[in-house]
Amino acid sequence: MRLKISAATSRLAAGLAVAAITLGACRGFLEADKSVADPNNPTAAATNQLLVGASANLMGLEESSMAMIVCQWVQQCGGVGGRFVEQQAQYVGVNSDSFDATFSSLYTGGGLIQLREIQSRADKAGDKVTKGIAEVMEAMVIGFGADIWGDIPYREAAGDNPMPAFDPQMQIYDDLQGVLDKAITDLAGGGNGPGAADLFYGGDKAKWTELANTIKARLYLHTVEKLGNAQYAKAIAAAQKGISTPNNDFKDPHTDATTERNMWAQFQLSSFGQDLVAGKPLVDIMKAQDDPRLSEYFGKNPSGGYGGYDQALANTPPDQISPIAGSDRASNGGFSIPIVTFDENQLILAEASFVTSGASAAAPFLNRVRALHGKPAIGSPTLQDIMYEKYITTFENPEAWNDYKRTCLPSLRPALNKSAIPGRFYYGSTETQTNSNAPDDSGLNLFAMRNANDPNSCR
């Protein structure tokens, strides 16, 4: 099992993956009547308890400080204040220790090992629905890791090899397509499913099946730059069976209870919350389109309007910068953070249709999203129109970084005096120190490193 890789990895995951990464946002769920047993210890927890723990881990990955740095690197957010937030926005202080716990949580603390245990138990119990749900979550967790780090352990990661090999990123993407195909088949099978232990969809297998197809489409997009535009046709085929209505959006569930608020809201209440502000490129795009989501994303600046911090020039007057505090999302700790949505699915169809068939084929999908947000239709959209809409849609979502690396849209300038926007993160230090197969990238130039699916820098 992966637990054998290092005791340090196990301790980090158990202590940090759910508690620290989620900043407490999920602790309340783990205090429910049927979740009091240790959700990260397969020998001491029931299958549904394991699923709750794995769900909390997934929520932690999607809302972690990783997502906040991505928000800054694609300049949806800005960093000010002279402390660590501003430094990270300028690509400073990011090293192999920065996301050590995040890397570990791909496997332990509710990661791959736990998800495989859930699948094994569900299979033995004849509960194909629960097995399918865990398989979709596996694809999301490992896909998250492959998107960020490229080559990571996968095929040997949940076995008994204490030094699992690092599999090639493109192989992992292909493997995950197979996992998602299995999940779709299993979700159509028998079994009672997890019911209320499914924090996302309450055991609704139709919604999980749609999610699986949207994830398939998303992963196909992630291979376009390397494998070519033929991947767009595969993305279309999957997205056509993907999330069919906003009511089926995959969101992290939260409440206003102190321990269950979303991480973004909790961060705004911390001593560093005021350092994370609106980014100028996103605010400018939204203002130009009179997008009604401005107040959802950002508070008003001291001048009474909306503006963002220019990370490339680093000289925006303070009275022109909108905070994230005071926004509808930050003021509402119970806001459920969107992770995979109908909007994203439609915009996958728009991008793929534009490239394969032209503007007229893309327009219905783009305009369906714009109509939902009270914006006028665009008769003959450009790829920029599509990617601007997706840039808005994926606020606070790591998927925005994948979109930017693939399309280089919107056109962004690197942070002040930097040569490029980084394309990946360093591996966690615990992994590089305890797994002899781990590539040691700690001394490499952050701006020169790229993953296999993204061979070309935008700058």
Q: What is the pLDDT along the chain (459 residues), one digit of tens a residue?
A: 333 333 233 333 333 333 333 333 333 333 334 433 444 455 568 999 999 999 999 999 999 889 999 999 999 999 999 999 999 999 999 999 998 999 999 999 999 999 999 999 999 999 999 999 999 999 999 999 999 999 999 999 998 899 999 999 999 999 999 999 999 999 999 999 999 999 999 999 999 999 999 999 999 999 999 999 999 999 999 999 999 999 999 999 999 888 888 888 889 888 888 999 999 999 999 999 999 999 999 999 999 999 999 999 999 999 999 999 999 998 888 999 999 999 999 999 999 999 999 999 999 999 999 999 999 999 999 999 999 999 999 999 999 999 999 999 999 999 999 999 999 999 999 999 999 999 989 889 998 899 999 999 897
**What pLDDT does 41 receive?**
52
**What pLDDT does 32 receive?**
39
In a domain, 358, yes or no: no
In a domain, 301, yes or no: no
In a domain, 104, yes or no: yes
- pTM here is 0.91
Buried b (16+ CB within 10 A) or exposed e, 341-350: bbbbbbbbbb
Q: How many CA atoms lie within 13 A of 62 on its CB side?
A: 26
Pair 443, 111: CB distance under 8 Å:
no
The amino acid present at 51, given as its one-letter code, is L
- CA dist 84 and 82 (Å) reads 7
Q: Which residues contact 149 (CB under 8 A, 6 or more apart)?
A: 103, 424, 425, 427, 451
Pair 99, 147: CB distance under 8 Å:
no
Q: Which two tokens stand for residue 258?
A: 């102190």
In a domain, 434, yes or no: yes
- CA dist 184 and 215 (Å) reads 11
- CA dist 383 and 388 (Å) reads 8
Pair 341, 372: CB distance under 8 Å:
no
In a domain, 226, yes or no: no
Q: Give the domain extent around 429.
A: 43-203+417-446
- CA dist 54 and 115 (Å) reads 7
The amino acid present at 87, given as its one-letter code, is Q
Residue with tokens 């992770």: 339
**What pLDDT does 443 receive?**
87
CATH code for position 173? 1.25.40.390
Identify the DSSP state of 453.
Answer: T
From the list 196, 91, 119, the residue with the least C-alpha distance to 416 is 91
- The total number of structural domains that make up the chain: 1
In a domain, 193, yes or no: yes
In a domain, 59, yes or no: yes
In a domain, 400, yes or no: no
From the list 242, 254, 235, 236, the residue with the least C-alpha distance to 207 is 242
Q: Which two tokens stand for residue 131?
A: 């097995």
